[in-house]
Amino acid sequence: MAGLVECVPNVSEGRRPEVVRGFAHVVAAVPGVRLLDTTSDPDHNRSVLTFAGEAAAVESAALALVAAAYREIDMRSHRGEHPRLGAVDVVPFVPLSGSTMEECVAIARRVGKAIAAAHDVPVYYYAKAATTPERARLPDIRKPQYEGLQSLMATTHAPDEGPASVHPTHGAIVVGARPPLIAFNIELDTADVKIAKRIAKAIRESAGGLPAVQAMGFELTSPPRAQVSMNLLDHSVTSLAAVWREVESRASAAGVQVLRGELIGLAPLEAMLEVARASLRLDGLARTQIIEGHFIE
């Protein structure tokens, strides 16, 4: 059996469910691909699709999704809480059973070249596919956002592929290869986004906080509340339980309660076992003690 590859594209649409369902249908229609999850957020105006399969099929599905998103999303009118560079903001490829990071880097490069050629869109490579160390971190590439990217394209943000001009409706796109990450949000019982931003700054690695953690603070609506939004780049370095404790402690110090956590997309089984070990003090909990664990490699 050929190796499996996961793809987790983030598209800049989270307010039109029928459009997102269309994107999911495009992915699921590709032979050899299994659509694993679709998660949307109207405040962020963003959806995350997770699919997996053999490399060639996943590559085809990613290109089909990009084409579908470019038909439906116009960045000139896009508004949302989450930073983004384009209609399809980021397309990461993740090695699963039987595949390697090197293979995913090669897929990322092929997909990036194909997108640039077919859609005349600037392409940036990140994480393990980055062409320079400065391109390794997604937040560094995405910092100017769609609205500010053009002014930097002659200096810090010259694209790796495609034209040195932002496409008016598609924007730009970031493509890469990375290990599995966990996208995890914690909502606070306050509408004061300053508290969420302070907590996010305190816990993210780039500011001296928790290792392998990226974090931002956002303001959400319906009902109004603040959110600490995080990416755990390596759950074996900083676990979900550790992140929860840190956010809860800092929120409590600010006189605010934690409302709930939110998992975006999927997480590895081992990460969930880590939560159970920490929360229930099951220090010796093993995968083989979970029924389904006997059927998973």
Catalytic residues: 82
Return left, alpha or beta for 26; rule: phi > 0 is left, psi -120 to 50 is alpha, else beta.
alpha
Report how far Cα 62 is from the mean position of its chain's Cα atoms: 15
- CA-nearest of 278, 206, 202, 195 to 235 is 278
Those residues whose C-beta lies under 8 Å from the C-beta of residue 93, and which sit 6 or more positions away, are 5, 6, 7, 58, 62, 104, 107, 108, 111, 176, 177, 178
Task: Give the CA diameter of the chain.
Answer: 56
Phi, psi values for residue 189, rounded to 5°: -85, 60
Residue-by-residue DSSP string for 111-145: HHHHHHHHH---EEEEETT-SSGGGSSHHHHHTTH
| Cβ neighbours around 102 below 10 Å, total | 11
| CA dihedral for 44, 270, 51, 295, sign (positive or negative) | negative
- The C-alpha atoms of residue 253 and residue 288 are separated, in whole angstroms, by 39
- The C-alpha atoms of residue 10 and residue 18 are separated, in whole angstroms, by 17
